[in-house]
Chain A
Amino acid sequence: MIGLECKLLVRTIVLIGLILTLFSSALLSVVSVVFDVPEGLYGYHSAFAGRLNLAAADTTIGEVKEHAEGWAFGVRAGLTSDVAVTGSKRYTLPVCETHDNPFPNQSVTTAFALMAENFVLVEESIGFRPEGEWPTAPGEAAITSLFGNSVGAKLGDTVKVGEREFLITAIIDSDTLDPDRKSLNAMPIRSAYLCVDGNEQLDFCYLGYSDSRLLRSDSVSLKEAGFTVFLTDATVAIYQNIDLVRAFFSAIAAVLAITALFILYCLIAMFYRQRRTQICRMKLVGAREGTIAGIYCTVAVLLGTVAIALGTAGSVLFNLFFMRLCSYLFEWEFASHFHPIVPFELFATMVVFVLILYAIFSKKIKNARIAEEVKHE
Chain B
Amino acid sequence: MISVRGLKKEYKTGEASLFALGGVSLDIKEGEFVAITGKSGSGKSTLLNMIGTLDRPTEGTVLVDGKDLSAFSGKQVAEYRNKTVGFVFQSFYLEPSYTVYDNVELPLILSGSPSKNNRERVEAALEAVGLISKIKEKARNLSGGEQQRVAIARAIVNDPSYLLADEPCGNLDTANSENIMHILSTLHAAGKTVIIVTHDPEDARKAERIVTMSDGLVVSDVENTPIPAQTEEKEVV
CA distance A349 to B72 in the complex (A): 37
Q: Given contacts A281-B93, A285-B154, A374-B54, could you give 6 more A-B pairs where the C-beta distance is less than 8 Å?
A: A278-B95, A282-B110, A284-B87, A287-B78, A370-B54, A374-B49
**What number of A residues sit within 8 Å (CB to CB) of B?**
19
Q: Which chain B positions have C-beta within 8 A of A278?
A: 95
CA distance A287 to B166 in the complex (A): 21
Is A283 interfacial (CB 8 A cutoff)?
Answer: yes
CA distance A231 to B79 in the complex (A): 70
CA distance A4 to B99 in the complex (A): 12
Specify which of A4, A281, A286, A371 is in contact with B54 (CB 8 Å cutoff).
A371
Is A63 interfacial (CB 8 A cutoff)?
Answer: no
Query: Do B154 and A286 have beta carbons less than 8 Å apart?
Result: no
Is B83 interfacial (CB 8 A cutoff)?
Answer: yes
CA distance A285 to B108 in the complex (A): 9
18 A-B pairs with CB atoms under 8 Å apart are A281-B95, A282-B106, A285-B82, A285-B87, A285-B154, A286-B78, A286-B79, A286-B81, A286-B111, A288-B74, A291-B110, A366-B74, A369-B55, A370-B54, A371-B55, A374-B45, A374-B89, A377-B93
Interface residues of B (CB under 8 A from A): 45-46, 49, 54-55, 74-75, 78-83, 87, 89, 91, 93-95, 97-98, 106-107, 110-111, 154, 158, 166
Query: Do A289 and B54 have beta carbons less than 8 Å apart?
Result: no
CA distance A289 to B87 in the complex (A): 19
Given known A4-B97, A371-B54, A374-B54, contact A286–B83 (CB-CB < 8 A): yes
CA distance A285 to B106 in the complex (A): 8
Q: Which chain B positions have C-beta within 8 A of A289?
A: 74
Interface residues of A (CB under 8 A from B): 4, 278, 281-289, 291, 366, 369-371, 374-375, 377
Q: Which chain A positions have C-beta within 8 A of B89?
A: 374, 377
Q: Which chain A positions have C-beta within 8 A of B74?
A: 288-289, 366
CA distance A375 to B110 in the complex (A): 24
| Minimum CB distance partner of A374 in chain B | B89
| Minimum CB distance partner of B86 in chain A | A285
Specify which of A287, A366, A370 is in contact with B110 (CB 8 Å cutoff).
A287
| Minimum CB distance partner of B80 in chain A | A286
CA distance A366 to B91 in the complex (A): 23
CA distance A187 to B74 in the complex (A): 55
Secondary structure dominating the interface of A: helix
| Minimum CB distance partner of B53 in chain A | A370
Query: Do A286 and B93 have beta carbons less than 8 Å apart?
Result: no
Q: Which chain A positions have C-beta within 8 A of B75?
A: 288
Query: Do B91 and A377 have beta carbons less than 8 Å apart?
Result: yes
CA distance A285 to B82 in the complex (A): 5
| Minimum CB distance partner of A291 in chain B | B110
In the A-B complex, the 10 residue pairs with the smallest Cβ-Cβ separation, listed nearest first, are A286-B82, A371-B55, A285-B107, A286-B81, A377-B91, A288-B78, A371-B54, A370-B54, A371-B49, A286-B110
Q: Which chain B positions have C-beta within 8 A of A286?
A: 78-83, 107, 110-111, 158
Query: Do B81 and A284 have beta carbons less than 8 Å apart?
Result: yes
Q: Which chain A positions have C-beta within 8 A of B154?
A: 285
| Minimum CB distance partner of A373 in chain B | B93
CA distance A377 to B46 in the complex (A): 16
CA distance A366 to B82 in the complex (A): 16
| Minimum CB distance partner of A284 in chain B | B87
Q: Which chain B positions have C-beta within 8 A of A4?
A: 97-98
Query: Do B166 and A374 have beta carbons less than 8 Å apart?
Result: yes
Shortest CB-to-CB span from B103 to chain A, Å, is: 9
Shortest CB-to-CB span from A333 to chain B, Å, is: 54
Shortest CB-to-CB span from B138 to chain A, Å, is: 11
CA distance A366 to B111 in the complex (A): 18
CA distance A370 to B166 in the complex (A): 13
Most buried by A among B55, B74, B80, B93: B93
Shortest CB-to-CB span from A6 to chain B, Å, is: 13
Q: Which chain A positions have C-beta within 8 A of B45?
A: 371, 374-375
Q: Which chain A positions have C-beta within 8 A of B93?
A: 281, 284, 374, 377
Query: Do B91 and A374 have beta carbons less than 8 Å apart?
Result: yes
CA distance A283 to B107 in the complex (A): 10
Shortest CB-to-CB span from B155 to chain A, Å, is: 8
Shortest CB-to-CB span from B235 to chain A, Å, is: 28
Q: Which chain A positions have C-beta within 8 A of B111?
A: 286
Shortest CB-to-CB span from A328 to chain B, Å, is: 51
CA distance A367 to B112 in the complex (A): 24
| Minimum CB distance partner of B97 in chain A | A4
Q: Which chain B positions have C-beta within 8 A of A377?
A: 89, 91, 93
CA distance A366 to B75 in the complex (A): 11
